[in-house]
Structure 1
Amino acid sequence: MVATIVSPRVMRIGGGSVSGVAEVLAQFGLSRPLVVTDPWMVSSGTVDRCLEPLRAAGLRAEVFSDTVPDPTDTVIEAGVAVLKGGDFDCLVGFGGGSPMDTAKAMAILAAAPPGTKMRAFKVPAHADRALVPVVCVPTTAGTGSEATRFTVITDTETDEKMLIAGLGALPLAAVVDHELTFSVPPRTTADTGIDSLTHALEAYVSRRANPHADSLALSAMRLIGANLRTAHREPRNAAAREAMMLGATQAGLAFSNSSVALVHGMSRPIGAHFHVPHGLSNAMLLPAVTEFGLNDALRRYAEAARAVGVAGREDADQVAGAKLLEELRALNRDLAVPTPRGYGIDPDAWERLLPTMAAQALASGSPANNPRVPDEAEIVSLYRTVFA
């Protein structure tokens, strides 16, 4: 097997590392950053954790904060106008997955001819060019976007969450500081934590798995399995937060160099049509989709159960696989993950959109990486199973 491995050129990891963000930029001769963040980061003053060390180093940092929870093509276009209207030499994505994904997409679209729409870059296109480099500073332990060659943007004309992949979306550098997650609320901790677990699990069972990604995925599952409940229950537990942040970054590196699969393929349409947070829609789907493909990659799922910490070496693969399913269901119960019905989604609207969501899931390409590759009817059936 030949695998092409990509990752940021520099990753500064550890408590307090955000104070060195200016040093990271200086390593690459960058001095005119546009910081991409969200309105809450500005109103709460959290973005100052990034801005203060930049300004202390004498850098003229400006802020674009008009991002939204599910980045849209219209927001990207607005951001590109700001980027091109200023004398910026880099973007700093500061926040959760949305600001980081927004920064990546801005860099890609800004490199395209005027008038180009974001949909021109959706998979299977290759988004390999960016106008300026992106440095990512995550404030949640979940998306792993600081380490991936992907961004996900919603097309506002079609309500489709578009997967965009390529070297243009790969950050030049990342600053991973778990202390930025101490104030993350329990719901977000749960949703982003299960998101990172899904990244690691899907990367490991993917048809595109490789030894490099496997090692990262297994390490991520060990960290997340042992610490997610503690981080949810004790928000300021530094050891648990550090483990979750490292696990999320490792999971991002894993799926960036392997792939995600059916959970993500089905999750994106739920977010696009019903505005369910991405990690939460992953959590809704994870037990049922894992059960769907379990016997087609039993050895891998069993090894994942051992990494998560719910099965031992003495357990036969079938037993370990069953324990993994039990744990995924228990995790959803413990972290109060609702079903789509429990979340408040209208049953008639859900049923009416099933053909569209199934078609969009398949078109993303992610389901083709699943151990058991579904057809459209099987995806519709899975959507119905998870609804209630």
Structure 2
Amino acid sequence: MAYRMIWNQTAYFGAGSIEVIPGELARRGFRKAFVVSDQVLVDTGVTGRVTALLDAAQFPYEVFSDVLPNPPIEKVQAGVAAFGAAGADVLIAVGGGSPQDTCKAIGIIVANPEFSDVRSLEGVAPTKNPSVPIIAVPTTAGTASETTINYVITDVERQRKFVCVDPHDIPVLAVVDSEMMASAPRGLKVATGLDALTHAIEGYITRGAWELSDLFHLKAITTIAGSLKAAADGDPEAAERMALGQYVAGMGYSNVGLGLVHAMAHPLGAFYSAPHGVANGVLLAPVMAFNAENSGERYRDIAVAFGVADAATMPLDEVRVAAVEAVAELTRELGNPTTLGEIGAREEDLPALAQAAFDDVCAGGNPREATVTQIEELYRSIL
């Protein structure tokens, strides 16, 4: 069997690493940048840390900040039109998952205008041309969009989120600067950190996992489990570790897929605008419990990564329970919601949510097959 692994051409890491951006733009021969961010980051000066470097280098740019959480089709199309009017030749994504995903969709559609409806990009779209070059600057330690071949768009009209998987969308350059993440509020750090943890754990137990992806995911689980709470509480060294840990998780899951946690989280975002990381945090431990018997020895590795006492030697059925509890305990300590009711879910929506999760592309990677009825029961058990 052949395994494919795709990552960025180039990535920079470390506090202050955004300073490389003007030189990289010049070295690559770009003439004008189209900066995709969101209004909150513009208003709080985070986006300005990048544009100030462009100003100092006298590098032309325009800012597109009409980005929303759970980015909808309409905002992608607005970005495509604005990019065309700007006359730019490079994209700079500054933000968390929503600006990054919006930027990827813009870059793909500009290079492949036959997909301008956006919906046709769902799944593995047969695009022919690489995206407009993207420089990705994450401002959260969570999605790892800067090193993945995935992005997620919301179809508001049909109340659904859809995953797009396309090697043509991967940024040519990632700049992972923990100082760009420092001003995020604690709740956002918790949510995005739980998203990163979910990537690492689901990537480790997904059906597509293999030796190389295992290296990334185990390292990411260990790093995130040991750093997330301190990073959320403002520890700069822990924040640096989280920035790296989420990126390492992305190097893995982007290439081998995810599972039922993400499949169930996506409809929650579409129905209730629930933040993606918050939804993952609610679902991760319960779905791990559902998958436990199909996990082999992998929950032992997860328990060891979390520092569970005697995890290496305790009976398998006990260590599986311990791994799930370690994740649940961290979720509680962080203060993330633990029930779906806390993020607005309603019992009358559960059948539709379950069908949407069953149809989600991520469900196919889950180590245990789940029926629509089982998914609905899972939702109900944590309502």
Q: Fold match, TM over 0.5?
A: yes
Confirm or deny: 8 A CA contact 1:38 1:95 kept in the other structure.
yes
**Which residue is 2:333 aligned to?**
334
Q: Report the alpha carbon displacement of residue 142 of structure 1 after superposing the two structures with TM.
A: 0.6
Q: Is the 8 A contact 1:127 1:167 kept in 2?
A: no
- From 329, 344, 347, give the equivalent of 1:351: 347
Deviation at 1:36, TM superposition (A): 0.2
C-alpha RMSD of the superposition: 1.6
Equivalent residue in structure 2 for 1:365, among 356, 361, 368: 361
Question: Is residue 259–residue 365 contact of structure 2 (8 Å, CA) maintained in 1?
Answer: yes
Query: What is the match of residue 151 of structure 1?
Result: 151
5+ long unaligned stretches in structure 2:
none
Partner Cα distance (2:122, 2:376) in 1? 23
- CA displacement 1:48-102 (0-9 Å, x = unmatched): 1111122222210210000001101000000000111121111111011110111
* Bigger Cα displacement from structure 2, 94-103 vs 116-125: 116-125
Q: Which moved more, 1:26-35 or 1:102-111?
A: 26-35
Deviations 1:247-304 (A, max 9, x none): 0111111100111111000100001101110000000101110000011013112212
For the Cα contact (< 8 Å) 1:79–1:106, is it kept in 2?
yes
Equivalent pair of 1:39/1:67 in contact (CA under 8 Å): yes
The residue number in structure 1 matching 2:280 is: 282
1:271 to 269, 272, 278: 269
Q: Determine the structure 2 residue equivalent to 1:295.
A: 293
Comparing 172-181 with 316-325, which one deviates more in the overlay?
A: 316-325
Q: Which amino acid aligns with 2:263?
A: G
Single out whichever of 150-159 and 22-31 deviates more from structure 2.
22-31
Give the superposition deviation at 1:161.
Answer: 0.4
Superposed displacement of residue 375, structure 1: 1.0
Residue 75 of structure 1 aligns with an amino acid whose one-letter code is K
Displacement of 1:339: 3.6
Asked if 1:61 is matched to 2:61, the reply is yes
Which shows bigger deviation, 363-372 or 70-79?
363-372
Distance 1:155 1:321 in 2: 37
Please tell me whether residue 246 in structure 1 is matched to residue 248 in structure 2: no
Seq. identity, %: 36
Number of matched residues?
382
Cα distance change on mapping 1:181 and 1:110 into 2, 3 Å = same
Unaligned runs of 5+ in 1: none
> What letter corresponds to residue 247 of structure 2 in structure 1?
T
Contact 2:67–2:99 (8 Å) recurs in 1:
yes
* CA–CA separation in structure 1 for the residues paired with 2:31 and 2:141: 27
Q: Residue 254 of structure 2 is aligned with which of 247, 253, 256? A: 256
8 Å contact from structure 1 (residues 135, 174) kept in 2: yes
Contact 1:298 1:321 in 2 (8 A): no
Tell me the TM-score normalised to structure 1 length.
Answer: 0.94
Q: Which residue of 1 aligns with 2:171?
A: 171
* Aligned-pair CA distance for 1:34: 0.4
Matched, 1:308 2:306: yes
C-alpha contact (below 8 Å) 1:228/1:244 kept by paired residues: yes
Structure 1 residues 115 and 227, CA, compared in 2 at 3 Å: closer, same or farther?
closer
What is the distance in 2 between the residues matched to 1:116 and 1:180? Answer: 32
Question: Is the 1:302–1:318 Cα contact (8 Å) retained in structure 2?
Answer: no
- The answer to whether the 8 Å contact 1:127/1:165 transfers is no
Q: TM-score, normalised by structure 2?
A: 0.96
- Say if 1:267 and 1:278, in contact at 8 Å, map to a contact too: yes
Query: C-alpha offsets along residues 24-59 of structure 1, whole Å, 9 cap, x if unaligned?
Result: 333432231100000011111111111112222221
- Aligned partners of 1:291 and 1:131: how far apart in 2? 39
5 Å matches for 1:1-388?
A: 1-113=1-113, 116-127=116-127, 129-233=129-233, 235=234, 237-311=235-309, 312-343=311-342, 345=344, 350-387=346-383
Preserved CA contact (<8 Å) 2:104 2:131: no
Asked if the contact 2:191–2:278 (Cα under 8 Å) also holds between the matched residues in 1, the reply is yes
| Deviation, structure 1 residue 103 | 0.2
Partner SS for 2:46: coil
